[in-house]
Amino acid sequence: MLLANRSINNLFDDMFKDPFFSRPFENSSSQIMKTDIHEKDGSYMIEMELPGYAKEDIKADLKDGYLTITANRDETKEEKDAKGNCLHKERYTGSCNRSFYVGDKITQDDIKASFRDGVLLLQIPKEVQKVEEQPKLITIE
């Protein structure tokens, strides 16, 4: 069959736009990881919605002043009839992430994080007092 002005990818895209198919993760990371940032008591409070994710699926990494939140998910859904025959089976594997510049003076110890009811809460101080590093003695054996 010859279709004018349509690529193979468009054929599959059109097929999956059918309401029968559900594609819960077709949006960009910013739409999946809805984020609110508030300023409170000298800190920034980040509230990030991650519905359906477990605490073990989420990683927060601080490098070169950038705080990156990554959420990974592997999911398999299978529907069977009364006789146990598979009628529908879907698999999803994917990840999403968001990055925020928090400054190069912030350390991992300065950031407080919790995850409850599908919401990741991060508390990041606006300013960090530089603590003078105490000399560390070297043990001589």
Q: What is residue 49's three-state secondary structure?
A: strand
What CATH code is carried by the domain that includes residue 111? 2.60.40.790
Task: Report if residue 72 sits inside a domain.
Answer: yes
For residues 71 and 50, is the Cβ–Cβ distance under 8 A?
A: yes
* pLDDT for the residue 141: 61
Cα dist from 112 to 13, 72, 74, 94, 123, whole Å: 42, 21, 27, 26, 5
Task: Report if residue 3 sits inside a domain.
Answer: no
How many C-beta atoms lie closer than 10 Å to residue 35's C-beta? 15
Q: Which amino acid is at 65?
A: G
* pLDDT for the residue 128: 77
What is the domain count for the chain?
A: 1
* pLDDT for the residue 127: 83
Task: Report if residue 77 sits inside a domain.
Answer: yes
Task: Report if residue 11 sits inside a domain.
Answer: no
Helix (H) or strand (E) holding 11: helix 8-16
* pLDDT for the residue 73: 85
Task: Report if residue 8 sits inside a domain.
Answer: no
Enclosing domain of residue 47: 28-125
Place of tokens 């004018």: 4
Along the chain (141 residues), what's the average pLDDT of each consecutive run of 10 residues?
Answer: 38 46 46 86 93 91 92 85 83 87 90 94 86 68 61
* pLDDT for the residue 69: 94
What share of residues in the chain are helix, strand, coil (percent, to 5)?
15, 45, 45
Task: Report if residue 100 sits inside a domain.
Answer: yes
Task: Report if residue 119 sits inside a domain.
Answer: yes
* pLDDT for the residue 31: 58
